[in-house]
Structure 1
Amino acid sequence: MKDLYVDKVLIVEGKSDKNKVKNIVKEPLEIICTNGTISHSKLDEWIEFLEDKDVYILVDADEAGEKLRKLFKREFPNAEHLYIDRMYREVATAPVHHLATVLLSANIDVHTEYLEMG
């Protein structure tokens, strides 16, 4: 298998978020998880790894998600922040058509059938 360079990276909180988004996205996109928190050493690794990539942040619309978002705004000032509707609270429980719309609005290519599910 060829090792492709992926220039877009999406940061999410958990594995269930990653799995849900992975099914919706149509283009090469690396999805990395914070697992709710992130250590300073892991953050330093990410800063180096992500310096030449387009970074997108998609976290839950809750207190923990907002705390992570605040950290990422400071550490990755050029990252694009994607927001789910507050009524869904969690990425993992948001309807797939809503997530597809959010991702598409950031110019991330999605499978069109997810847009039609709304």
Structure 2
Amino acid sequence: MTDSGKVIIVEGRSDKKKIENLVKEPIEIICTNGTISRSKLDEWSEALYNKEVFILVDADEAGERLRKQLRREFPEAEHLYIDRTYREVAAAPKQHIAMVLLGANIDVHVDDL
């Protein structure tokens, strides 16, 4: 894990790639790969202590289950939401993801949109 003060938790690698290409500031992006074990959560709890945590997961049933679990583990985290019509972070247009990130004061490459 990096020393960046901000962390975004996403579901999969394609979500991570999409966000990595958009963000302009140093930010750590970690994947749950859909599910997350108790030991991994404990490890993250320690590593993410005192960091600004954002949660950006798919707008589907699996994403909502994961969001609920992460809400319990990281009650201070800020939840970011994509429009339900896109269902998946990876399927949402870059412009839409950029607006979601900008809304959370995360700097993005606007010239690439």
- 1:86 is aligned to 84
Q: Matched residue pairs, number?
A: 112
Shift of 1:52: 1.1
- 2:71 is aligned to 73
- 2:99 is aligned to 101
Structure 2 unaligned spans of 5+: none
Q: Distance in 1 between matches of 2:89 and 2:10?
A: 8
Shift of 1:113: 2.1
CA radius of gyration, larger in: 1
Q: Distance in 2 between matches of 1:59 and 1:70?
A: 11
Structure 1 unaligned spans of 5+: none
- 2:53 is aligned to 55
Shift of 1:5: 2.3
Partner letter of residue 45 of structure 1? Answer: E
Q: Distance in 2 between matches of 1:56 and 1:69?
A: 11
- 1:23 is aligned to 21
Shift of 1:112: 1.1
The ranges of structure 1 where at least 4 consecutive aligned residues each deviate by more than 3 angstroms after the TM superposition are none
Tell me the TM-score normalized by structure 1. 0.92
Which secondary structure state, in structure 2, belongs to the residue aligned with residue 84 of structure 1? coil
Q: Distance in 2 between matches of 1:109 and 1:65?
A: 24
